[in-house]
Structure 1
Amino acid sequence: MKCDILAIGAHPDDVELGCGGTIAKLISEGKKIGIIDLTQGELGTRGTIETRAQEASDAAKILGISARENLKLKDGFLNNSEEYQLKIAEMIRKYRPEIVFANAIDDRHPDHAKAAKLISDACFISGLRKVETYNDKGDLQEVWRPKHIFHYIQWKNVEPDFVVDISGFLDKKIESCLAYKTQFYDPSSTEPVTPITTKDFLESLTYRAQDLGRLSGVEFAEGFTTEKLIAIKNFDGIVCN
């Protein structure tokens, strides 16, 4: 199944937190979007592999994702190896996206920046004809290289190269994030407190989107960075602040 966009995250919930509003908006416009989680988030302070898997499935249903897979790479120990690049390249060749959303290029969790580079390199080798990968049936896959890689913003306030207007879709983003019941603010929980389980972090999803919206002249926005210069065909759709 071909997807217009493949959103890839080091951990289940990375994609929802980083670009859930953008995904919800694009799906409402008829785009097919898939999510690839690189790890099962098994080193997370809260939750288990099983609960994270169920939460990821619930979040995908909320957003209306066309496909979601988990590569079960090693949480906390992502590395830019040939093995990991090839596993991601298999997904790129399977879903043949025009655009890939990837982890932040710089962030608090070391897996995020590592994943950003790993995903970028995998997108490149996926377009090399002499790199062979195979599908689940053992058939040789055709080469495919996405046209663009855009990195969503996570914990750190990385300055975006552009923002997407998600006005009208912030509630859907937050709903998809709250599907991860074990991971975020729950006053009744007896599990250890982490930086992302605080009420302040949950509220930051709104005030960050508001601030990016304020700067760009819309109600709410999500920011992205890009690895290469992008061109626009015309000025239709650009919001003037």
Structure 2
Amino acid sequence: MSNILNVIVIAAHPDEPEIYAGAISALYAEMGHRVKFVTLTDGCCGHHEMCGEELIARRKQEADEAAKHLGVLEYVVLPIPDGELMPTPEVRKEVIRQIRGWEADIVITFHPDGPGHVDNRNAGKIVRDAADFVAKVPNAVPEVPSLKKSPIFLLMPDYAARAAYSPDIVIDAGSVIEKKLRACDAHASQFYEFAPWQGDFLHEVPDNWEEKRTFILKYWDRFLRVSDEVLPTLSKLYGQDYAASVRYAEPFEIANYGRRPNEDEMKTLFPMLTTSARM
């Protein structure tokens, strides 16, 4: 592993890498590391008025804009219809290509089991199934060189699993919360149109940024702020005094597949933990 880390976030729909892993991605980018986002579907179900190629193109444009706010270098949206993601060999091979092509040190994705969106679960299953092939299996997907070492796999809590979540790592998101909020703002079709329509609060969508910022913090609170299930890990990693001051956070679990980093490697892989602990 070089001094520059290669991080890839693999989710199901455009806007999920931002809301679940936007802060850790922005922190890596600020430190000079390379971050890539991949969504395994095109998000074509994500609207109440728009549809088809028009919506797909809009969501890709929003994704590219969000990437700029976070410092993400690439944002790939695969042409698989929203709601139809399945853990097939073909999709698994594409995930292997994406991970190898990025020479990933860290892969962030969804849990393969549990409640929540079926595409999210299947994204987690696909990455889990791909994990055994990305390193030291050169005859699998031979057109992309096999990695010499398995990445570390981190699991994001799907929105429906958060309350029962017990993270191994919690990232203090405070220093980059504005970048994360701006990335969410870029996905206007989701944060100001489709989700408010689904939740019957479309009439509350504001016009200016300061009010939009408050709007996102209100309705996506559980994705942004520190909650009870992350407090023990926060205190363990940062100390109780520092943890008590943290307002915004992102939790992750180290997957039970791939490999588990030792204590020294944790400091290399997650330098933002060491930096925050010294503050």
TM-score range, shorter chain: 0.7 to 0.9
Q: Measured at CA, do residues 30 and 212 of structure 1 come closer, stay the same or move farther in structure 2, by a change above 3 Å?
A: farther
User: Quick check: 1:193 aligned with 2:198?
Assistant: yes
User: Quick check: 1:154 aligned with 2:158?
Assistant: yes
Secondary structure of residue in 1 paired with 2:198 = coil
User: Quick check: 1:221 aligned with 2:249?
Assistant: yes
| Pairwise CA distance, 1:90 | 1.2
Secondary structure of residue in 1 paired with 2:174 = coil
RMSD (Å), alpha carbons:
3.0
Q: Measured at CA, do residues 185 and 209 of structure 1 come closer, stay the same or move farther in structure 2, by a change above 3 Å?
A: farther
Q: Give the corresponding residue for 1:136.
A: none
Q: Give the corresponding residue for 1:164.
A: 171
Does the CA-based 8 Å contact 2:111-2:125 persist in structure 1? no
Does the CA-based 8 Å contact 1:184-1:202 persist in structure 2? no
Letter in 1 for 2:220: L
Of 98-107 and 17-26, more deviation after overlay is shown by 98-107
| Pairwise CA distance, 1:203 | 3.6
Q: 1:10 aligns with which of 1, 9, 12?
A: 12
Does the CA-based 8 Å contact 2:44-2:56 persist in structure 1? yes
Letter in 2 for 1:201: Y
| Pairwise CA distance, 1:50 | 1.7
Q: Which runs of 5 or more residues in structure 1 are unaligned?
A: 134-139
Q: Measured at CA, do residues 11 and 3 of structure 1 come closer, stay the same or move farther in structure 2, by a change above 3 Å?
A: farther
Q: Measured at CA, do residues 33 and 18 of structure 1 come closer, stay the same or move farther in structure 2, by a change above 3 Å?
A: same
Q: Give the corresponding residue for 2:262.
A: 231
Paired with 2:168 and 2:254, the residues of 1 have a C-alpha distance of 6
Letter in 1 for 2:219: F
Letter in 1 for 2:253: T
Does the CA-based 8 Å contact 2:26-2:179 persist in structure 1? yes
Paired with 1:169 and 1:209, the residues of 2 have a C-alpha distance of 14
Q: Which runs of 5 or more residues in structure 2 are unaligned?
A: 205-214, 235-242, 268-272
Q: 1:143 aligns with which of 142, 146, 149?
A: 146
Secondary structure of residue in 2 paired with 1:184 = helix
Q: Give the corresponding residue for 1:137.
A: none
Does the CA-based 8 Å contact 2:35-2:74 persist in structure 1? yes
| Pairwise CA distance, 1:76 | 1.0
User: Quick check: 1:132 aligned with 2:150?
Assistant: no
| Pairwise CA distance, 1:147 | 2.0
Q: How many residues in Structure 1 have an aligned counterpart in Structure 2?
A: 230
Does the CA-based 8 Å contact 1:41-1:52 persist in structure 2? yes
Give the structure-1-normalised TM-score: 0.83
User: Quick check: 1:89 aligned with 2:89?
Assistant: no
Does the CA-based 8 Å contact 2:36-2:75 persist in structure 1? yes
Does the CA-based 8 Å contact 1:195-1:201 persist in structure 2? no
Paired with 1:39 and 1:33, the residues of 2 have a C-alpha distance of 19
Does the CA-based 8 Å contact 1:162-1:225 persist in structure 2? yes
